Structures are given as structure tokens and as C-alpha cells.
Chains A and B, each alone.
Chain A
Amino acid sequence: MTWTDPFRSWRSPTNVPAAFARAAGVLCLTACVATGGGKSETTPIAEGQIVEAGDGSVSPGVVDVTPEGTDSSLYVEPLPLRPIPADIDIGERPSLETDEAGLWMQMDRAERQLATSGKRIRDPELESYITGIVCDLANQYCGDVRVYLVRTPIFNATMAPNGVMQVWSGLLLRAQDEAQLAAVLGHEIAHYLRRHSIKRFRDIRSKLTGLAVFRIAAAVFGVAPVGDVAALGMMGSIQSYSRDHERESDFMGQNLMVESGYDPMAASELWAQLNRERARMEEIDPDKKSPRSVFFASHPPSEEREENLRLRAEAFAQSGVEGRRGREDYIAALGEWREVFLRDELELGEYAQSEALLEILVDSRPEDGALRYFQGELYRARSQDGDADLALAAYAEAAELGYTEAGLYRGWGLTALKNGDNAAGVAALKTYLDLAPEAPDAGMIQFMIGSADATS
């Protein structure tokens, strides 16, 4: 059977990966996760989905999107609205005689370590919320994917071959709504459904021998403790191989989003936000040219991802797909963790990046006093010329916006003292102690008040 590619007038047919050529047949907006390779039955196609007939014609709902005005240098095979079949059965484990089984065993062991790690965020409500999104996206594969929230303030999520998904707190902080988070979660699920890990593992193994293979593979898949220099170095050598998988996962993840009722444009918007963050960071501190995030390093250029995902989202929209964003639900679900994640972000000491991120978050939620407070905390920690005044202004804005957490007055007071305004500093610190008399640092704050009074 053949299929019609809405982007056919624009893309070189020679660039079509063989894996997608095999996917010819039923086209649908859904991920068609249960199709392909004779693995399972085809997912039922709902009304309004794009369906291609066996003769290659496309149903009236399909729009032939011509990407006029698009920067073609950024454009790499968006493969719009194409079915991407799952490459694994529901509940499947590789048979013991395969190399894949050995990899799974290692990942199972690493999962046991991850489950008890201090980096794991153990909050049943938040875990349940995120797992619910994952289950919506993974559909029949819900039981095969296990989600671990990890307190690491870097934008990243990982998927191990045995279905262990790590969601790092830096991602939770940056996603502005449920749909944006779903874009990344869908991407990771796609890695699992497409068995990308074993393909990467075989590539790694072809470069290495011995015990190092499993250790490095574990780090690459994000299960072993990150920080192994050798493993990170090895990651660099397989990045180019993984990028095709990343693109495929982007598109399949976006399909999963649509199937779950999310706005597919959120995927592109997330990348646009990350691009903006990186550009602003480099503007603030031109020395920060190299991206810190391993996600940036191991994934395709994000301008390309933003563009490709936007084109696909537009095609979805033109065929009548609408979706939800879940903005307030998402912020509510994060609850107090959002401030923990903001604190962790500042503690990285990467002030240019944190400043850029906070600017974006404030633009998105200008009414949010907590974000102004953390801007104040950023300036207090950075402590460069003029930062004390910026911090004091940000604290004042936070208070005006109704932010009443005790920490606001602690930061305000410490900054005022450092700025030589003892009266204001003492007043703010006293307010802090009034609001949090049992604070663990109450003794220290009393000492600061006493010292300031003595020098006034």
C-alpha cells in the first residue's frame, strides 16, 4: 500500500527513513500505537481522524500544508500526521536469550536503586497526577511505563528500555501547562514504544566492549547516577545516532498528545520557550554559550524541533483538531513543589539561566507574586552591583501582588541589611520571625537583628 505525504512537494523522498516506509497503510491522527509489525490489532479510528485509503488518496479532512515562509534550513522531515507504529507488545519483555534481556535486567536493578534514592520526589498526589497524564498518553501501555519524579533542576526526562521514565524537576518547573508537559512525556513514551533504547545500546556496544557497556548504557538511559564522566563522554559519541530517534519520538509524542486530547501546538511552544530561555541567557551572559542541559546536547537543535512541531500542529489544527492546555490544573498539581523547584534552580548558581527562566515565567504569570519573590532571591544570591536594589524592588512587588510567605521578609531583611538600611532590615526580619517563630534559623535571625541594632 502507499500513502500520501502532505509535505511531499517539499521534502526529498529519499529522506524518508525506512522505518516509516514500513508504516505505510492506515494513516490516522492517532499514534496507531497498536499497529505495525503484526504486533497487535489496529487502534480504532475515531471520526474526524485522518485516514488514508489503500489507493493513496487522503480523506477530505486532510490538509496539504505547504510550509511557505518556513526557514527551510531548519526543516528536517516533520513527517506530518503519519502513523508511527509501536514496536513492542503490551506487557512484553524480551526473551532471555536476547541481548535486550540483559539490558532490561540491568535497568531493573537500576530502577530498584532509583526507587529508594533521595533524589526521588515522593509525593503521592503529584506522582499520581503525572502518572495519570502518562497513562492517558500511553493508553494500552499504561501498565508498562513506570514514572519516577526526580529532584534535579535541569530540563530533562528520560526513558529506559524497561519502561522506567524519569521526569526531572527542571522540566516540571519549565512546563507552563499540562499540554506542554504531555509533549515531553509523549516523547519519552515514544522512545519506549519504538524500542529506541536497544537500538542505541547496540550502537554503544559496537563502540565498546566489556563491563563498561552496561554502566555507560545505564547512564545514557538516565537510570544510573548521572555524573560519570566517562559515560557522559560516551553520550557525546552516540548523540548523532540518537537524533533520528529524537525526531521520531517528537512526532509520535505529538500524535499521542492529540489522541489524549491535548493541544499539539504546546509541543512547539515548549521548544520556543526553551529557545527563548537559551537566547536570553546568552544575552545576559555572553560567556554562557554552551548549553548546560544534557537534553539540549543530546537532542536535535531545538529551533528545528520547534519548527517541525509547529508545522505538524498547524496541520492538525487545519484538520479540525483542538485540544486542552490544563494550565491551572497543572499549577495546582505542582502546589508547593513549584517553589521548591524554583529554589533548586537558584541553587545551581547559574544566574543568567535562572534570570532568563524567571523572566519567561513572570511574562506568563505576571500576577504571580511567588515568581517576583524568587526574582528577588536571584538578585540577592547573585549579589552583583545594583542587585540589592533589584532584589528590594522585586520583594516589594511580590508583597504588592499579595505574596505573604515568611521567606519574603527574610530575603528582604537580609538584603536591606547588606544595603546598609538597618531599620528596614530589622523590621523585615522581625516580620519574618512573627510569621515563622519556629523557623529553624530563628536563632541566627535573632543574632542578625541584634547585630544590626547594636550598630545602628
Chain B
Amino acid sequence: MKKIVLSLGLTALLLMAGCAKQFVQVDPSTQQFGPVSFTTAQPWNKVDINADHSMWTVDGLTLNTLELTGNVGKGKRLFGSAKTIKGPQFDPSMSLPEQSEFLLASLRADGLPNAEIFGLEAFRIGEIDAFTVYFGGENEDGLDTLGLAVGFVHDEAFHAIIYRAASEHYYEKLLPEVTGIIESLKSNEVST
């Protein structure tokens, strides 16, 4: 009985502390993401996991997800999770190809166990070196998934925008929007 009362009390405290996350609608607009900004062209539903991590979706998180995760510092993992496989830790000395390896290994640990790269390119966001990577694989539920991500390091911290969607219909559906988001990326720093 004592344990039940304690667990109910703990649950109430967590709810009061705002641990129950809620989605909000984000209308087309320019958004800030760490040292960069980007522009959306259609409404999204967004939930903030924490100050550095948010998840966006149009049709539901299991069908299409745009994940923004930033400020991943030295020794930190891209996704915080209680899974058996936690994934690798970030090191600011990673080169661009190594950053993409870090991202892919993190995805494998985060529910896309057989993720493979289909394309990897370098590009720049203002003065920031970045990469885009196309990937795909089956998730842990067996859903065939495709994805596109951008990653970069700024102030010794890794930032990533990761799009994942069911390969059938849903990936293609939002691909123009996501491609537009990536093309709209701008550095907040004014080059001198």
C-alpha cells in the first residue's frame, strides 16, 4: 500500500512538473535551431523533448518524423534512451565522414538496426561545414524506412536534423518540404 501511494505521488509530481509532453502546431515560418535557422513551408506538429531536442511530424511519429537534436557535446550520445544499445559518444575531433558515422551508428542504436547509407555529401551552411546523408533500413517493428539528415558541428557540439519516414508513400510525401528546409538553412553568424 505504501508503495502504491508513493508511486501515485511520484506520478502526480511528474505531471505537475510538466513531464507530460504535448504537441503544438507550428505554422509555416522561420525557426531557430542552435546556430542556424530554417524555414518551413507547411504546418507541422511539434513536441519538445527538452531544450535541445524536438520531434516534428505531419502524419504521426511512426509515419514521418523530423527530429532536431542539438548541443551534443563531447562524450554525449545523439539520442538519450534507456535501450540496451545506447550508441556511440560524440567527439568534437570527428571529421565530417566520422560525424556521419556517428549519426548512422546512433540511428542503428535508436530503432533502425540495419540502417545503411545511400548517399553522403558535404555542403556548407554559411561558414559551417556540414553533411547530408541519405539512409534507409527496417526499423525494429519491421517497417521499411527511408531518411535524410543534415549534421554539423558548431562550438564543439554536434547538431542534426533527421527526417525519417515509412518508405511507402510517407517518405516521398514530405521529401519536397524537408529538402526545402535543408536548402533554407542559414547560419546565424554574420560572416565578416
Known: A117-B142, A349-B89, A410-B97; 13 extra A-B contacts, CB below 8 A, are A116-B142, A117-B141, A118-B112, A154-B84, A226-B83, A348-B85, A383-B93, A414-B98, A440-B117, A440-B120, A440-B134, A443-B121, A447-B122
Do B109 and A347 have beta carbons less than 8 Å apart? yes
Q: How long is the Cα–Cα vector from A152 to B97 in the complex, in angstroms?
A: 24
Question: Is A90 part of the binding interface, using a Cβ–Cβ cutoff of 8 Å?
Answer: no
Q: How far is the CB of B75 from chain A (nearest CB, A)?
A: 10
Query: Which residues of B have CB within 8 Å of A365?
Result: none
Is B157 on the interface with A (CB-CB < 8 A)? no
Residues 93-150 of B at the A interface (beta carbon under 8 Å)? 93-98, 100-101, 105, 108-109, 112-114, 116-122, 131, 134, 137-143
0 or 1 for each of A28-72: is its CB under 8 Å from B? (1 = yes):
000000000000000000000000000000000000000000000
Nearest 7 CB-CB pairs, A to B? A118-B138, A116-B142, A349-B88, A347-B105, A447-B122, A227-B83, A441-B120
Q: Does B70 contact A (CB under 8 A)?
A: no
B84, B95, B121: the one contacting A227 at CB < 8 Å is: B84
* Residue pair A118, B139 in contact (C-beta under 8 Å): yes
- B105: chain A residues within 8 A (beta carbon): 347, 349
What string of 1s and 0s marks CB contacts (under 8 Å) between B8-48 and chain A?
00000000000000000000000000000000000000000
Tell me if B119 and A227 are in contact (CB < 8 A).
no
Tell me the count of chain A residues lying within 8 A, CB to CB, of chain B. Answer: 33
Is B156 on the interface with A (CB-CB < 8 A)? no
Residue numbers in B under 8 Å from A380 (CB-CB)? 98
B190 at the binding interface (Cβ < 8 Å): no
The reply to whether A118 and B137 contact each other, CB–CB distance below 8 Å, is yes
A-contacting residues of B (Cβ < 8 Å)? 81-89, 91, 93-98, 100-101, 105, 108-109, 112-114, 116-122, 131, 134, 137-143
A225 contacts B95, C-beta separation under 8 Å: no
Cα A447 to Cα B96 in complex, Å, equals: 10
What residues of chain A lie closer than 8 Å to B87, measured between beta carbons? 347-349
Minimum CB–CB distance for B6 against chain A, Å? 15
Q: Which of A219-244 contact B (CB under 8 A)?
A: 225-229
Whether B118 and A440, one on each chain, are in contact in the complex, defined by CB atoms closer than 8 angstroms, is: yes
Which residues of B lie under 8 Å from residue A154 when comparing CB positions?
84-85
Whether the Cβ atoms of A444 and B138 lie closer than 8 Å is no
Q: A448 within 8 Å of B by Cβ? A: yes
Q: A152-B84, A347-B108, A383-B93 are in contact. Are A443 and B120 (CB under 8 A)?
A: yes
| Residues 152-175 of chain A, each 1 if its beta carbon lies under 8 Å from chain B, else 0 | 111000000000000000000000
Q: Which residue of A lies closest to B82 (CB)?
A: A229
